[in-house]
């Protein structure tokens, strides 16, 4: 990593129910990703992950486990590495999932783990699925 590289912390949640993973289709990249985004100043990773789920999937969650991170780079963001931290999370009782950010995302779906290879997934989501199923 060069001295001019900036690491941008991001956090999101893997919400799993009945063998299915909740994902959002990102308009810009045309792939499915976790509800998540950049950590704001003064936020912990956990706070950012919960906030992003509320903003994008419209529900409150309880974080159950830290699952690690992946570094992502994008051609348009030279000199920046987006470090995406993933937490396993569960919906709080009575919370329903809905597409809460239709500008950034086209749709929200539950992807069965058995079918994850058939979907256009963000690289960190593919990595998560392989690792989660191996455990």
Q: Which domain CATH number covers 43?
A: 3.90.79.10
76 domain residue, yes or no: yes
Give first-to-last CA distance, the chain, whole Å.
30
Domain that holds residue 106: 6-134
Phi/psi of residue 45, each to 5°? -60, -45
The number of distinct structural domains making up the chain is 1
1 domain residue, yes or no: no
User: In degrees, to the nearest 5, what angle opens at C-alpha 31 toward C-alphas 130 and 51?
Assistant: 85
70 domain residue, yes or no: yes
118 domain residue, yes or no: yes
Strand partners, 32: 25, 121
DSSP calls for 15-75: EEETTEEEEEEETTTTEEE-SEEEPPTT--HHHHHHHHHHHHH---EEEEEEEEEEEE--T
pLDDT of residue 3: 61
Which pTM does this prediction carry? 0.92
51 domain residue, yes or no: yes
H/E element, 46: helix 45-57
69 domain residue, yes or no: yes
23 domain residue, yes or no: yes
Per-residue pLDDT of the chain (135 residues; tens, 9 = 90+): 546 789 999 999 999 999 999 999 999 889 999 999 999 999 999 999 999 999 999 999 999 999 999 998 876 677 899 999 999 999 999 999 999 989 999 999 999 999 999 999 999 999 999 999 998
38 domain residue, yes or no: yes
């Amino acid at each position: 990593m060069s001295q001019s590289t900036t690491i941008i912390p991001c956090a999101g949640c893997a919400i799993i129910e009945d063998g299915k993973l909740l994902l959002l289709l990102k308009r810009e990249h045309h792939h499915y990703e976790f509800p998540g985004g950049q950590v704001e100043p003064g936020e912990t990773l956990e706070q950012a992950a919960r906030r992003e789920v509320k903003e994008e999937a419209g529900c409150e969650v309880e974080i159950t486990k830290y699952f690690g991170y992946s570094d992502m780079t994008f051609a348009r963001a030279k000199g920046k590495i987006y470090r995406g931290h993933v937490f396993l999370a569960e919906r709080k009782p009575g919370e329903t999932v809905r597409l809460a950010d239709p500008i950034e995302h086209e749709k929200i779906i539950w992807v069965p783990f058995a079918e994850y290879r058939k979907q256009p997934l963000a690289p960190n989501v593919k990595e998560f699925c392989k690792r989660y199923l191996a455990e």
